[in-house]
Structure 1
Amino acid sequence: MSQIVIISGSPTPGSRLNGLIERVEGNWKERGIEVGHIRVADLPAEALLHANFKDEAILAALGQVEAASAVVIASPVYKASYTGILKAFLDLLPQTGLKGKITLPLFIGGTIAHLLSLDYALKPVLSVLGSRNILGGVFAIDQWVQRLESGGFELTGELSERLDRASEELAEELAWLSARSNA
């Protein structure tokens, strides 16, 4: 299974959030780290909303989280919080579903006023789910991510540097975790 699983809470396939995700994923793949994805919007809506733990897609997604050493929680910010679809998925995780896992939040919003959504909306939920190693995370403003006509995204230099530092920090934590478990 993947060492890192990225949970994307964007309801929009072409979201600028994908620019952030692609940047960190590329950094990890260059290091040979396996990365998996859960695009919550791709899960069966009825199974997600009714917490159908017998649904194969839901079980597979929960299995990815369980097997991963690190979890990236990625979401656009709407009304000062992460998306409802992401909340619906996080509600399916067991009470200790993030215990022993490194977590990295990646958020994008329309204004810097939503910056505190990481600390006040997401981090308490991650803590309740058992995560004790919550990295600082990266918050981006929509304007810092441009969609390219040819496809893909262009990030500002500062955002790219911040994402590179965050992905490096997670990789270092994974290496430390691996060395500790092999000792």
Structure 2
Amino acid sequence: MTRILLIGGSPLHPCPNHTFLDYAKYLLENQSQFSKIKIDTLLVRNLLAEDLAFGRYSSPALFYPKKLVEDADAIIIGSPIFKSAYTGLLKSFLDLLPIGIFANKVILPLATSQIIAHASALDSSLTPVLIDLGATQILPSVFALDNQLQDAEHSNLEIAIRLQAALQDLLQAIANKGNKPNNLSPLLDKIYAVH
């Protein structure tokens, strides 16, 4: 069974970013060729604030969230963009994860913002952290403006097409994962390209 974990990094709920994650889940659940997908959702805002604020790495309350990350074949990680970066809440959670936990996982970032200028902010701010956590296959992020998202079944057509294409890439990458060890994504190839 393929396990996909959706991680929501917004401190607010409901919010456009969680709507984006819900929409991704809705599209995945309707993939006829992938009937054996288990999808879990982890909203970081539901974790104990004290664990996140004080960096309690060994808190028993973090055992299950860490287990969800460890068991996932792929992770869809979402965050609204504030001041050209992902949320501090998501950063606090990622700081509590062990190095290497994202190894051998396909990662798809989803970003939302009120302004188009933030369209590439998640790639530049989140990618280095994901690499530090062992990620080697990070797909290009999908960005949506807050006003393009309505609900899990009625979003902007352009967003629906781009998200569906990204999810197809995600599922294909999961299927190919065993055939191409250490396959860096095109985004990582750009980062590490020798000029």
When the two structures are superposed, what TM-score results if normalisation uses the length of structure 1? 0.89
Q: CA deviation at 1:54?
A: 3.4
Q: Does the Cα contact within 8 Å between 2:42 and 2:65 map onto a contact in 1?
A: yes
Q: CA deviation at 1:18?
A: 2.2
Taking the aligned partners of 1:12 and 1:133, their CA distance within structure 2 comes to 28
Deviates more, 1:53-62 or 1:78-87: 53-62
Q: CA deviation at 1:21?
A: 1.1
User: 1:177 corresponds to which residue?
Assistant: 177
Runs of 4+ that moved beyond 6 A:
none
- The 5 A counterparts of 1:87-166 are 87-146=91-150, 154-166=154-166
Residue 17 of structure 1 pairs with residue 17 of structure 2: yes
Task: Say what the alpha-carbon RMSD is for the aligned residues.
Answer: 1.9
Please state whether the residue corresponding to 1:6 is helix, strand or coil. strand
Taking the aligned partners of 1:169 and 1:19, their CA distance within structure 2 comes to 21
Please state whether the residue corresponding to 2:143 is helix, strand or coil. strand
Taking the aligned partners of 1:3 and 1:169, their CA distance within structure 2 comes to 15
Please state whether the residue corresponding to 2:85 is helix, strand or coil. coil
Q: Which runs of 5+ in 1 are unaligned?
A: none
Q: Which runs of 5+ in 2 are unaligned?
A: 182-195
Taking the aligned partners of 1:62 and 1:69, their CA distance within structure 2 comes to 14
Q: Does the Cα contact within 8 Å between 1:96 and 1:129 map onto a contact in 2?
A: yes
Change in Cα spacing, 1:39 to 1:156, as seen in structure 2 (3 Å) is same
Change in Cα spacing, 1:50 to 1:97, as seen in structure 2 (3 Å) is same
Taking the aligned partners of 2:2 and 2:61, their CA distance within structure 1 comes to 17
Taking the aligned partners of 1:57 and 1:167, their CA distance within structure 2 comes to 30
Aligned residues: 177
Q: 2:87 aligns with which of 83, 88, 96?
A: 83
Q: Structure 2 counterpart of 1:50, which letter? A: F
Deviates more, 1:104-113 or 1:17-26: 17-26
Taking the aligned partners of 1:29 and 1:146, their CA distance within structure 2 comes to 18
Q: CA deviation at 1:60?
A: 0.8
User: 1:51 corresponds to which residue?
Assistant: 55
Q: Does the Cα contact within 8 Å between 1:20 and 1:163 map onto a contact in 2?
A: no
Q: Structure 1 counterpart of 2:24, which letter? A: V
Q: Structure 1 counterpart of 2:49, which letter? A: A
When the two structures are superposed, what TM-score results if normalisation uses the length of structure 2? 0.84
Q: Does the Cα contact within 8 Å between 1:76 and 1:83 map onto a contact in 2?
A: yes
Taking the aligned partners of 2:83 and 2:180, their CA distance within structure 1 comes to 40
Percent identity for Structure 1 against Structure 2: 34
Residue 8 of structure 1 pairs with residue 12 of structure 2: no
Q: Structure 2 counterpart of 1:163, which letter? A: L
